[in-house]
Structure 1
Amino acid sequence: MSEPTTDPWGQPLPQHPHHPPQMAVPAPEPRPKRARPSRWVWPAVLVLGLLAGIVGGAGGAALWERYAPDDWRDDTSSSVTGLSGSTTVSQAPIDPDDASVANVAQALLPSTVQIIAEYAGEDDGATGSGFVFDTEGHIVTNNHVVASAAKDKGPVYVVDTAGHKEKATIVGRSSVYDIAVLDVPGAKDLKPASLGAAAALRIGEPVVAFGSPLGLSATVTSGIVSALNRPVTTGESADDLSYINAVQTDAAINPGNSGGPLVNLLGQVVGVNSAIATAGGTTQGEAGNIGVGFAIPIEQVKITAEQLLTTGKASYPIIGAKVQTGTDDPAGDGAEVISVDDGTPAAKAGLAKGDIVTAVDGQRITDGIGLIVAIRTHQPGETVEFTVNSAGRTKKVSVKLAGVSDPAS
């Protein structure tokens, strides 16, 4: 079986009839991104300094408590004020008795936008999707939708479902989590989406995907949750690798959907569509949906977005070790530590070369990518428990996660 790849979400089609005449038809993104579940073929060794985790610190921990899944369906408050002073909406817009794809589409389309990011080397730039994150009108999308425009200082535009096109500024980006936040000063009356909880999802539960696949704005597709906590990574090099503890769905996701919301039948955003798997190696513009799509859980998105809104920067935890992630990775047996830097959290915890990490806080780890993704459910400053097979003996060690700045910040 060929290695799965991630499409860059940028293939254009002819102009949608509802778009205003001045809107350019977006071209593909400059580089394809690759989605690899943890047991698929990898480069021999991934060196990141290592073990990324979710952003946040104390603020992130507070946000996690605020959005705890136990309260997601019965939340009586209509909004939550974030660290930046922005307000996010959490109350479900749809009553359970009225749950349907049609009602979800009606509720969420006004909160969904198309994004056009121009950069050198392309006539029209990249296209993707996004959604209104808060009552201040900030837009959340994928970093890879706007990364090239950010590097080339090219303009970024947001087009709402009515066809109104406004210039946006990039508030902040996280390449580690593949999240970007935009501000649209000229936009008016943007409707914030209701934010739910991916942790409350069940396998087989219906979900709805929104976005602008193949340049077709305001497109709605539906499917189910195919899997939860799926370790997936995207990117072609250590500079643009993103790890996702993903929600897997069979809802049709195609080039141009990237950054759009994945929504439950109560009308709450539970993830950000970010990657697809395709059969066979593909080049830009050739990849398409085969029923295997991946979304970043909304819990991670909330914390990353709030940190970007607060400081313009994101951070992620490290333990200061390298793990085996290539074809020699003993999939199913755990994550093999291949080196530990002196003075790091890993060294202080007693981890050593040759150790095999088999669980994090009781969650089974099958390989190196699974370990990295498991760490991403935590924040810098947290202490996690590793179960380790060291020279044939099983032990438990506590590791306090350090933090570093996201390279895109």
Structure 2
Amino acid sequence: MNDEQAGPDGTEETRPLGPAPAGGDSWVPPTAQPRPMQWDAPRPTSAPTPYPQPFGQAPGYGQDQGFGQTQPYPQAAPYGQPYPAPPAAPRGRVPGWLWPLVTALALVVGVAGGVLGSIVHDELQEGSGSSLVGSGLGEDTVRTEPPLEVDDGTVAAVAQELLPSTVQIAAEYEGEANGATGSGFVLDSRGHVVTNNHVVADAASDDGAIQIVDQDGNRYDAEVVGRSPVYDLAVLYAEEVEGMKPAALGASTELLVGEGVVAIGSPLGLRATVTAGIVSALQRPVTTGDSANDSSYINAVQTDAAINPGNSGGPLVNLRGQVVGVNSAIATTGGGMLGGESGNIGVGFAIPIEQVRVTADQILRTGKASYPVIGAQVQTGRRDGSGATIEEVLDDTPAAEAGLEAGDVVVAVDGERVTDGIALIVSIRTHQPGETIAFTVVRDGDERKVEVTLGSETG
């Protein structure tokens, strides 16, 4: 960090001599008799008589020091020179009990110094933008300005801009010969890469090997900074990626249905593949995952750009060269999502870049991500468009405090229509813990407004 002290200057003071006495006489020791002396007269060559004991000197100076010798008094300095310091008194014997005390003190100081040094090292590492958390997603480390002008917005120009920032992810883990492959892109200038959680989840859980592969096929060992199964996002770090150009981040909220977009990634392991299409829909509630434990709920950008297994985690880009989403799922004829046996049928989904930025910032600050909850169970199987039915309200939760009850049907959140349970979950997760949102609830045929302050969980 991504951390002075001053000491004495080491100069030696000289005792001031003061001005020369009036009348031309030279300065003489206080005990000697004055005698005429010219300023240019030669100085005596023999050593002068020792000075008397200095004023204020402790008694005993110049007496027998206990070794059979007498400590001599300091000799006079030649005219114009400082007095020399008196010789140091000889040391006495150090008591034996003192050595264990000194040794123990040295050990304590050494341990304390090691701990302090470790703390300083960690602080410096955090400030350097390494894989350690604590720094967040700094505005000075990400790109937001569109790299392409509107007139330059061709698929070829977008590909040339984004391919150097797009990577392949190879995750190997026990029980799988080839592991999983996916895609990702360089998030910032500090070596962080964004991908989908489902690409690296098994390898991260089993201490498997994860590598980042750049456009030229160079492989770099990577570590997981943090993961969010709830939002299906993960942040990786590799030191070598610090030299790669980050992708520019845009805004999915500025997209228009029908607008052109480009998907880049490694479908079926084919590195640096580019496909193009349009925005088919916005704010599409989508759930992915094989069970309630690993399901992710996405308020997705829908596109018909060809997306296949291996595209997961790659960027969805507008025609000005800005990432507007992370490709995460596709619909299949069998009703499955990305990662199944079926391939692209023209219905793909991407996590909005706004959610990516929030979750990545949380991961880079704390190593994990939080998401909002209300503390209630809702039906997710029925999708008839009538709303989200609350099945159970847990005690001491935001839902209970707001007065929600089992059997309530939520038909809108902050005025936006809610069609089913998945739509309600997705709508809640577009907010942040601590926010207060308004539910429109139907209870016993009557419609009412209920304000809920969102709680928080980690995942």
TM-score by length of 1: 0.77
Please give the per-residue CA displacement for 1:377-396, whole angstroms capped at 9, x wherever unaligned: 10000000000101111100
- State the Cα deviation string for residues 362-387 of structure 1 (Å, max 9, x = none): 00001111100111110000000000
Is 1:303 the counterpart of 2:358? The answer is: yes
Distance of aligned partners of 1:218 and 1:157 in 2 relative to their CA distance in 1, 3 Å threshold: same
Counterpart of 1:193 (choices 229, 247, 261) is 247
Shift of 1:186: 3.2
Match of 1:383 in 2: 436
CA distance in 1, matches of 2:236, 2:425: 28
**What residue identity is the alignment partner of 2:257?**
I
- Answer whether contact 2:136 2:362 (CA < 8 A) is retained: no
Cα deviation for residue 237 of structure 1 reads: 1.1
Determine the structure 1 residue equivalent to 2:396: 343
SS in 2 for 1:238: coil
Residue matched to 2:323: 269
Match of 2:405 in 1: 352
Q: What is the deviation of 1:82? A: 5.0
Which stretch shows the higher mean deviation, 243-252 or 282-291? 282-291
Q: What CA distance in whole angstroms lies between the structure 1 residues aligned with 2:266 and 2:383?
A: 39
Q: C-alpha separation between the residues in 2 aligned to 1:339 and 1:267?
A: 46
1:253 counterpart SS class: coil
Inter-CA distance 295–282: structure 2 relative to 1 (3 Å threshold): closer
Structure 1 residue 187 displacement after superposition: 3.5
1:322 to 344, 358, 377: 377
AA of the residue aligned to 2:146 = A
User: How far apart, in 2, do the equivalents of 1:330 and 1:114 lie?
Assistant: 37
- 1:286 is displaced (CA, Å) by 2.4
Are 2:193 and 1:139 aligned?
yes
| Greater radius of gyration (CA) | 2
Instruction: Tell me which residue corresponds to 2:143.
Output: 89
> How far, CA to CA, are the matches of 2:442 and 2:292 in structure 1?
28
Alignment partner of 1:125 is 2:179: yes
Deviation at 1:285, TM superposition (A): 5.9
Paired position in structure 2 for 1:153: 207
Within-5 A mapping of 1:246-265 = 246-265=300-319
Partner in structure 1 of residue 159 of structure 2: 105
Identical amino acids, percent of aligned pairs: 66
Of 136, 155, 168, 1:114 maps to 168
Partner of 2:425: 372
2:231 paired residue number: 177
Measure the CA separation in 1 of the matches of 2:294 and 2:335.
19
Q: Distance in 2 between matches of 1:227 and 1:108?
A: 23
What secondary structure, in the 3-state scheme, does the structure 1 residue paired with 2:239 have? coil
Match of 1:334 in 2: 387
2:142–2:248 Cα contact (<8 Å) kept: yes
Quote the Cα distance in structure 2 between the aligned partners of 1:85 and 1:171.
19
CA distance in 2, matches of 1:281, 1:300: 25
Q: Please list the CA deviations of residues 268-287 of structure 1 after superposition, one character each: whole Å capped at 9, or x if unmatched.
A: 00000000001026796621
CA–CA distance in structure 1, aligned partners of residues 250 and 283 of structure 2: 16
* Distance verdict in 2 for CA 1:265–1:281, change over 3 Å: closer
Structure 1 residues 149-172: Cα deviation after superposition (integer angstroms, max 9, x where no partner): 001100100000011111000000
Change beyond 3 A, Cα 1:226–1:304: same
Structure 1 window deviating more from structure 2 (272-281 vs 284-293): it is 284-293
Q: What residue ranges of structure 1 are gaps of 5+ in the alignment?
A: 1-80
Quick one: distance in 2 between partners of 1:286 and 1:319?
36
Q: Which runs of 5+ in 2 are unaligned?
A: 1-134
Matched-pair contact (CA < 8 Å) for 2:136–2:363: no
**Corresponding residue number in structure 2 for 1:361:** 414
SS in 2 for 1:230: strand
Cα separation, 1, equivalents of 2:291 and 2:386: 26
CA RMSD of aligned residues (A): 1.5
- 2: distance between equivalents of 1:333 and 1:188? 50
Alpha-carbon distance in 1 for matches of 2:371, 2:294:
14
Matches within 5 A, 1:285-296: 286-296=341-351
Please report how far the alpha carbon of residue 238 of structure 1 lies from its aligned counterpart in structure 2 after TM superposition: 1.7
Check conservation: 1:86, 1:136, Cα contact below 8 A. Answer: no
Paired residues of 2:190 and 2:241 also in contact (CA < 8 A): no
TM-score, normalised relative to structure 2: 0.69
2:368 maps to amino acid: K
Higher relative contact order (Cα pairs below 8 Å, separated by 6+ residues): 1
> Hey, what does 1:12 align to over in structure 2?
none
Output one character per residue of 1:265-317: Cα deviation in whole Å (capped at 9) or x when no partner.
00000000000001026796621000000000000000000110111011111
How far apart in 2 are the matches of 1:85 and 1:216?
33
d(CA) in 2 for partners of 1:346 and 1:281? 32
